Amino acid sequence: MRRTVLIASLFLIGHSLFAQNEDSLFIRRLADEVLVNGKAYDNLYDLTKNVGARLAGSPGMVKAEQWGLKTIQKSGSDKAWLQECMVPHWVRGGQDKAEATYNGSSKKSLDVTALGNSEGSGPKGVTADVIEVKSFDDLESKKDQIKGKIVFYNYHFNPTFVQTFRSYGDAVRYRGAGPSRASKYGAVGVIVRSMTHSTDNVPHTGSTSYDPAYPKIPAVAIGLKDADWLSTQLQKAPVKVSMTTYGHFLPDTIGHNVIGELTGSEFPNEYITVGGHLDSWDLAEGAHDDGAGITQTIEILRAFKALGYKPRHTIRFVLFMNEENGMRGGAKYAEEAKANNEKHIFGLESDAGGFTPRGFSFGGKPEQLEKAKSWVPLFYPYGVYEVTRGGGGADVSPLAGLGAAVSELSPDSQRYFDYHHARNDVFENVNKRELELGAINMAAFIYLVDKYGL
């Protein structure tokens, strides 16, 4: 009995070692292809510098869709197409401005950006005394002093969370719900401390969402140095701020997910999806958010083709539209998949910046998570040390409703919020090799799911 078990074990070990070896060799070839012949960085240059900002509904969106289709085709897809979806069409409408009057009659211009989806003040602007609140509890305790004021949410990004996405998750409610909660008590405008650990003064936009029960008041984010300055001034004497913003919605318009496909040789009707989002905020090049995910997605396609890899399942390379202020593209993709009765087994996304990869978060059944974890030794040489229980990215998450496991690349998060939704999210702040290593690990993950299933 013992001997039989021993032999069986040796056989299993032998088999598994052989498979691991074959896999590690293929992943090494993938890595060499990306590190030596990679196009992700050049494509990112092209997308950020020649297309630029590409918010849903904007002319930049249309240009980006055409760029995406052409680049996917050029990278070797078996087929490629645009998948139509209606998208919201918010425009900034003008140059956001804010000026503080302090210390009697001294003036200081503040570096601000209107929150995405916010309603502008119009050219007249809004001028009012500022009241600082540190939190929603603080707002509630001051609710009788809010009327006619501009509420300044000075909630700090928590420095003690090592994973900066936790600081974001903690602070982002002030951007999302802050304007309407202030409006409820009669505020006429809102200034939100930017969601960042940065050491500069660059303001960070991002979606806000109004509660229809209250007036839609103008809302801006302010850079950290100006936020600290404003807080200090308010401790000394009243500060009045004049802010002028022009944001508004135009009618919904037509946008598209851009989809490329490598058709599966054994299971053409079973789908693996990998993607990022093609739209960006209007004020930046969207290099980390999410030019990185876009160019990594296309790089995986290019590398598979370059190595002559024939997938068993159909792999879809998807550039999703409108993640930033509506997530209509991700919803549309899942909706059509459902309508077409498609069988989706896996959705993988990169939307946390083109930084050095450290892991994958994974949402699926416990045994699927265990299987994914068993592959970590194969990722390890390329910097991914763990697969952790979590979710997929925003755009692939709806595929979970169709029974797919979903995942997202977890790059190192320390620098992400230095650039997130801000004008400094530019090509120059992306490192070529960090971007490539993300693509390599994602390609390896797709390869393993394609080969072994989940």
Q: Select which of 33, 65, 285, 323 is catalytic.
A: 323
Residue with tokens 């602070």: 171
Residue 24 vs 414, nearer CB to a copy of itself: 414
3-state secondary structure (DSSP) of residue 64: helix
CA-CA distances (angstroms) from residue 267 to 75, 272, 311, 312, 434?
22, 11, 9, 6, 33
DSSP category for residue 115: P
Residue 183 vs 410, nearer CB to a copy of itself: 410
Q: Which of 382, 419, 445, 447 binds a copy of itself (CB under 8 A)?
A: 382
The answer to whether residues 272 and 297 touch, using CB atoms and an 8 Å cutoff, is no
Q: Is 323 a catalytic residue?
A: yes
Is residue 170 a contact point for a copy of itself (CB under 8 A)? no
Is residue 383 a contact point for a copy of itself (CB under 8 A)? yes
Q: Which of 99, 138, 335, 386 binds a copy of itself (CB under 8 A)?
A: 386
Is residue 104 a contact point for a copy of itself (CB under 8 A)? no
Interacting stretch for a copy of itself, rule CB under 8 A, among 179-187, 329-337, 360-368, 379-387?
379-387
Is residue 356 a contact point for a copy of itself (CB under 8 A)? yes
Helices and strands, number each (H, E), in the chain? 13, 16
Residue with tokens 């979606």: 207
Query: Taking the complex as a whole, how short is the minimal distance between the CB of residue 358 and a copy of itself, in angstroms?
Result: 8
Query: Taking the complex as a whole, how short is the minimal distance between the CB of residue 433 and a copy of itself, in angstroms?
Result: 5
CA-CA distances (angstroms) from residue 180 to 124, 201, 326?
21, 25, 18
CA dist., res. 416 & res. 422, Å (int): 11
Interaction mask 417-436, a copy of itself, x per CB under 8 A: -x------------xxxx--
Q: Which of 1, 5, 162, 339 binds a copy of itself (CB under 8 A)?
A: 162
CA angle 5, 6, 9 (to 5 degrees): 85
Is residue 164 a contact point for a copy of itself (CB under 8 A)? yes
Query: Taking the complex as a whole, how short is the minimal distance between the CB of residue 375 and a copy of itself, in angstroms?
Result: 16
Interacting stretch for a copy of itself, rule CB under 8 A, among 8-16, 32-40, 53-61, 171-179?
32-40
Pairing of strands 343-349, 313-320: unpaired
CA dist., res. 33 & res. 25, Å (int): 12
Compute the Cα dihedral for 324, 76, 30, 263 and give only its sign. Answer: positive
Q: Which of 26, 41, 67, 281 binds a copy of itself (CB under 8 A)?
A: 41
393 φ, ψ (degrees, to nearest 5): -70, 170
Q: Sheet containing 313-320: which strands, arranged edge to edge?
A: 79-91, 248-262, 313-320, 267-277, 343-349, 405-411, 357-363, 386-389
Max Cα–Cα distance, the chain, nearest Å? 92
Q: Which of 412, 423, 451, 453 binds a copy of itself (CB under 8 A)?
A: 412
307 φ, ψ (degrees, to nearest 5): -90, 0
Interaction mask 188-227, a copy of itself, x per CB under 8 A: ---------x-x----------------------------
3-state secondary structure (DSSP) of residue 188: coil
Is residue 415 a contact point for a copy of itself (CB under 8 A)? yes
Query: Taking the complex as a whole, how short is the minimal distance between the CB of residue 202 and a copy of itself, in angstroms?
Result: 14
Interacting stretch for a copy of itself, rule CB under 8 A, among 29-37, 177-185, 186-194, 360-368?
29-37
Residue 31 vs 426, nearer CB to a copy of itself: 31
Q: Which of 4, 50, 95, 160 binds a copy of itself (CB under 8 A)?
A: 160
Is residue 437 a contact point for a copy of itself (CB under 8 A)? yes
Pairing of strands 106-110, 97-102: antiparallel
CA dist., res. 143 & res. 191, Å (int): 16
Positions touching a copy of itself (CB under 8 A) are: 31-32, 35-36, 41, 159-160, 162, 164, 197, 199, 356, 358, 381-383, 385-386, 412, 414-415, 418, 431-434, 437
Residues acting as catalytic residues: 323
